[in-house]
Chains A and B, each alone.
Chain A
Amino acid sequence: MRIKILIIISIILAVSTFSCNKRETHWQTDVLLPIVSSEMGVGDIFGAENIASNPDQSVSIVVEEDIDLLNLDSVINIDDTIAVDIFNVPYTFTIPPGQKVIQKETSSKVNFGKMELVHAKAKRAKMKFYVTNSIKQPLLVKYELFCATKDGAIYEVEERVEAATATEHAYVEKEINLDSYDIDLSGPNKNSFNVIYAKTTVWIHPDGDTANVSPTDTVLIVSTFDEFVPEYAYGYLGTHNLVANASSAIKVFGNFSSGSFDLDNMSAYIDVYNFLGVDLTMEINDFATKNSNANTNISLIHSIIGSTLNMQRASESGIDDYPVYARNYKYDISNSNLDQMVEIMPDSLLVSVSGIINPLGNISAGNDFIYFDKGLDAKIKLDIPLNFSATDLLIEDYASINISDDGIKEGDFNILFKNGFPFDFNLQMYIVDNSNSIVDSLFDDATFIGGADVDGYGIVRNKKDTRLRMKFTNKLLESLQSNDKMLIRAKINSVDQKKYKLYQNYSLDIKMVGDFVYDI
């Protein structure tokens, strides 16, 4: 009996052991598979946002850089404190609850520097209103800011101030938000400027008791601008000397790290827009391009440099969306050394200007205006027809790689190029370590990708095929797996060093096909 049971148990155990003996299953397959496909067009080289098509389907690089020539923060200065009012009574008397203690209208002149403003609008403005009470009863204080209106209503605020104690004055602080308020700075008689016109009324609070007020009792009210971000100002803006140094990044040549190219028929304009309601004169002291990597600057050589440019004032449109008709001045700088400035493949544009606002004084009789979101803007427009020759023009970039799959065994990667550019490319991909030092290269053999032939009109009709083979060895695989970055470098040369016009359909098609053993 026991033997029978043992036999049964043994069989069951044998079957269970067989079933549970789980190891990893794997086998090798031969894979022929497209891995990556990519198309590099003109836009990928120069940035699609910088490319414009011409009527003949050729392409130009159009660079538009905006430069703010005038920092308007420097135009307006404002003192923080608007007014300090001290209220007291000349003799001792008693005042019942609810009775007015004092009422005072104040016209405080705000210091706006050289500006004599009759009207302003605050984008953001905060006043602070401090009241100190030495009377032994609570007060009710009303502050009416007659000069600040919004939707036809003046700004006013009432605030309770607690009673002073025997040893301490009572104190209250109130923040006044004047965002989007119109501020009339012409005073109560509308014939002045920079005036804040307000009225302060003080009562013994109706909830208090009768107060004994003596000449030593004071009510101190201080009002200040805590924040003032103007949106609009009107009046006489004063005469100001301005010096501005501006720069703007140029990204269009960012892909190129060295080499040179030769350009033709470039054109360029400087468009200056005066959005200020003031006359001004301006001089461009310097206008230069800079290649930071090469530490090279080239300044514009043109008659505009150092010349006085007179600009008339803008006018108000009365339209909310476009409140200003700007004055536009366009200066053609094509006839210059512009090609040299561009051929250094600049990464930034530098401008230095100086100028005078209201050089002739208050000739507008106080009718200057300024919208603070727009001042004096310059647009630099470069139109570079892509008709050029390239010499060892180097494009390079780093790309992340993550080959964690250890199933790929030895094999080849075949890379097919269909080159639609009349330029030769020398392509190499390097594996780099964390310090960007080259560890290995993906291609052992020739990496030359021949440029396409052009017809009698200089146009590429058929792409040129080139096939490169990347031998995928265990050593290369280990390098790829132990590093996570790749440097892709392409050197570009014009076929026969000639100049070619680029068309918008030109591209370099790349397809990587894996032909390898994969261990599943």
Chain B
Amino acid sequence: MSYGTLQLNAQITEPKDTVVNLDSEKHMHQKHKENHLKFRFDYDLGSVLNNAFLRKFLYGGTIDQKLIDENYDRLQHGPNHIGNTMDFAIQYRRFTGEFLGMHNVGFSTAIEWHLHHDFDFTDDGYSLIMNGNKSFAGKTADLSNTKYNFLQYSQIKLGLFKENEEKHSEYGFQLALNIGNQFEEFAAPHAQLYTDSLGEFVELEGEFEYLESGYIGKNSGLIQGIGAGLDLFYEIEKEHKYKFVFEVANIGFIYWNDNSLEYEAEEHYVFEGIVIDNLFDMPEQLYSTTVNDSLHDYIIANGHRGSHATLTPIELDIWYEHYLTEKISAKARFRHKIFGLYSPYYQLGGTYHISDKYHIGVDANYGGYSKLNFGVSLCMEINDNFVVDIRTRYLMGFLGHKFSGIGGFAQINYKF
């Protein structure tokens, strides 16, 4: 009986590379000599804003003033995050034993699809959007360091791993062909909006940078960029004693085609209303497009098309699990997403090993796209071939009005 794919901790930081998600109560050599076909779906939504707000903002409903004010109080007077990621992976992992003269090696191959959204905003930005600009009459709203990233890409991965039976360790790598589907980036390193005390004008000034792939839309299968990536991992384990994992995934880039749009400018724009030359000769319509359309048209008109390279968010994951007793283990984790709008993430948790087939866990975590949160996990072996791992990362987000985040992880591991 093996629990080769079991993750016992409920957390946001589920390793993306299932090669390192190998946890076992059996010996390492035994574990790796099995072949695995894994399906994994991972969804995260986290923010400083609470779930009651996010639920209505993203899935519909009226956001009342109480909820707006309540969330304003949650802001952290610095970059406030909203992150939303979705990952899907199918991996095949085979232990071959010998390969090119090396011993105790195996290979893995995977197809992965990633959707990455994150947004940084200021307290003033939140207030401006949710309360309107009237509260800023005669004042300046600070919008500096507002950022937005959207990236959707696919990967085809191929890698090797090697096991050291004496040290109970394993290390390996995967190379990835990155297939860029679409991306969009916005950044305002410095920006502010002044509203005249009588509302006679609003004044926007700042530095703005914008990048987008040639196409952004529903056709998520369109290939608009090509790149490469690298995953590395190392783990060491002593059965029922401890386990240490170091993983860095998706070190890479995507080179987008020459239809990509780039815009970078310092703007100083004073809006005094739509100027009508003659009041007695009004235009047919004061406006005919949405602000979003007009802004995008402006960017297209003032930007330039050309190839552009972007870095993929690198996922760094380091964790250590220590068995306090044969049934209970404790775990500490550090995680970070470099090149994403993500704060360092810390997690502490425990797992109760009910039996060889059932494990339940709880954890407390802080950081990432969210603040303090809790999660639970359940891992069970259905038969000798299937292991199912399900967890909520943000248990309190589901249950408590004041918490943030909606996240889930499901993995089915078929061993043969």
Distance in Å from the Cβ of A253 to the closest Cβ of chain B?
13
Q: Is the CB of B280 within 8 A of A513?
A: no
Complex formed: what's the CA distance from A279 to B56 in Å?
90
3 shortest interchain CB distances as A-B pairs: A23-B60, A29-B132, A399-B282
Which residue of B199, B281, B390 contacts A33 across the interface (Cβ within 8 Å)? B199
Q: Can you name 9 A-B pairs with beta carbons within 8 Å?
A: A12-B410, A22-B60, A25-B60, A30-B135, A38-B278, A44-B279, A400-B282, A414-B199, A488-B282
Q: Which residues in B have their C-beta under 8 angstroms from that of A30?
A: 131-135
Q: Which residues in A have their C-beta under 8 angstroms from that of B59?
A: 18-19, 21-23, 25
Complex formed: what's the CA distance from A482 to B125 in Å?
35
Task: Determine if A166 is an interface residue (Cβ-Cβ < 8 Å).
Answer: no
Task: Determine if A26 is an interface residue (Cβ-Cβ < 8 Å).
Answer: yes
Complex formed: what's the CA distance from A258 to B268 in Å?
45
Q: Is the CB of A34 within 8 A of B279?
A: no
Complex formed: what's the CA distance from A22 to B286 in Å?
32
Task: Determine if A24 is an interface residue (Cβ-Cβ < 8 Å).
Answer: yes
Task: Determine if B275 is an interface residue (Cβ-Cβ < 8 Å).
Answer: yes
Q: Is the CB of B271 within 8 A of A34?
A: yes
Distance in Å from the Cβ of A9 to the closest Cβ of chain B?
11
Q: Which residues in B have their C-beta under 8 angstroms from that of A40?
A: 278-280
Task: Determine if B57 is an interface residue (Cβ-Cβ < 8 Å).
Answer: yes
Q: A34-B201, A397-B280 are in contact. List 17 more A-B contacts (CB 8 A).
A: A18-B59, A25-B56, A27-B68, A29-B130, A30-B132, A34-B272, A35-B273, A36-B274, A36-B276, A37-B272, A37-B275, A40-B278, A40-B279, A44-B279, A255-B280, A402-B284, A515-B134
Complex formed: what's the CA distance from A11 to B390 in Å?
9
Most A Cβ at <10 Å: residue of B278, B286, B382, B408: B278
Task: Determine if A8 is an interface residue (Cβ-Cβ < 8 Å).
Answer: yes
Complex formed: what's the CA distance from A402 to B380 in Å?
62
Q: Which residues in B have their C-beta under 8 angstroms from that of A29?
A: 129-132, 134
Q: Would you list which residues of chain B between 268 and 312 have a CB under 8 Å from chain A?
A: 271-286
Most A Cβ at <10 Å: residue of B277, B380, B408: B277
Q: Which residues in B have their C-beta under 8 angstroms from that of A446?
A: none
Q: Would you list which residues of chain B between 114 and 152 have a CB under 8 Å from chain A?
A: 129-135, 137
Complex formed: what's the CA distance from A480 to B338 in Å?
52
Q: Would you list which residues of chain A between 325 and 383 have a CB under 8 Å from chain B?
A: none
Task: Determine if A511 is an interface residue (Cβ-Cβ < 8 Å).
Answer: yes
Complex formed: what's the CA distance from A25 to B56 in Å?
6
Complex formed: what's the CA distance from A24 to B57 in Å?
9
Name the CB-closest residue of B to A45: B280
Task: Determine if A238 is an interface residue (Cβ-Cβ < 8 Å).
Answer: no
Task: Determine if B101 is an interface residue (Cβ-Cβ < 8 Å).
Answer: no
Task: Determine if A222 is an interface residue (Cβ-Cβ < 8 Å).
Answer: no
Q: Would you list which residues of chain B between 51 and 102 have a CB under 8 Å from chain A?
A: 56-65, 68
Complex formed: what's the CA distance from A31 to B132 in Å?
5
Task: Determine if A266 is an interface residue (Cβ-Cβ < 8 Å).
Answer: no
Q: Is the CB of B132 within 8 A of A35?
A: no
The interface bits of chain B over 368-383 (1 if a CB of A lies within 8 angstroms of the residue's CB, else 0) are 0000000000001011
Q: Which residues in A have their C-beta under 8 angstroms from that of B188?
A: none
Q: Which residues in B have their C-beta under 8 angstroms from that of A145?
A: none
Complex formed: what's the CA distance from A418 to B283 in Å?
22
Complex formed: what's the CA distance from A8 to B277 in Å?
66
Q: Count the A residues whose beta carbon is within 8 Å of the partner chain — how many?
A: 48
Please classify the interface of chain A as helix (H, G, I), strand (E, B), loop, or mixed, using the class held by over half of its residues.
strand
Query: Chain A: residues with CB nearer than 8 A to chain B?
Result: 1, 4-5, 8, 11-12, 15, 18-19, 21-38, 40, 44, 255, 395-397, 399-402, 414, 416, 486, 488, 510-515, 518
Q: Which residues in A have their C-beta under 8 angstroms from that of B65?
A: 28
The interface bits of chain B over 191-230 (1 if a CB of A lies within 8 angstroms of the residue's CB, else 0) are 0000100111110000000000000000000000000000
Q: Which residues in A have their C-beta under 8 angstroms from that of B283?
A: 400
Q: Is the CB of B63 within 8 A of A34?
A: no
Complex formed: what's the CA distance from A39 to B56 in Å?
44
Q: Which residues in A have their C-beta under 8 angstroms from that of B278?
A: 38, 40, 44
Complex formed: what's the CA distance from A115 to B285 in Å?
59
Complex formed: what's the CA distance from A11 to B277 in Å?
61
Complex formed: what's the CA distance from A512 to B282 in Å?
14
Q: Is the CB of B133 within 8 A of A31?
A: yes
Q: Is the CB of B60 within 8 A of A32?
A: no
Name the CB-closest residue of B to A20: B59
Which residue of A1, A23, A33, A488 contacts B280 across the interface (Cβ within 8 Å)? A488
Name the CB-closest residue of B to A508: B279
Which residue of B58, B134, B388 contacts A32 across the interface (Cβ within 8 Å)? B134
Name the CB-closest residue of A to B138: A32
Complex formed: what's the CA distance from A488 to B279 in Å?
8
Name the CB-closest residue of A to B127: A29
Which residue of B130, B198, B279, B410 contacts A513 across the interface (Cβ within 8 Å)? B198
Complex formed: what's the CA distance from A1 to B382 in Å?
7
Name the CB-closest residue of A to B281: A397
Most A Cβ at <10 Å: residue of B63, B130, B200, B410: B200
Q: Is the CB of B200 within 8 A of A513?
A: yes
Q: Which residues in A have their C-beta under 8 angstroms from that of B134?
A: 29-32, 515
Q: Is the CB of A32 within 8 A of B199?
A: yes
Name the CB-closest residue of B to A34: B273
Name the CB-closest residue of B to A405: B287
Name the CB-closest residue of A to B128: A29
Most B Cβ at <10 Å: residue of A27, A255, A414: A27
Q: Is the CB of B275 within 8 A of A38?
A: yes
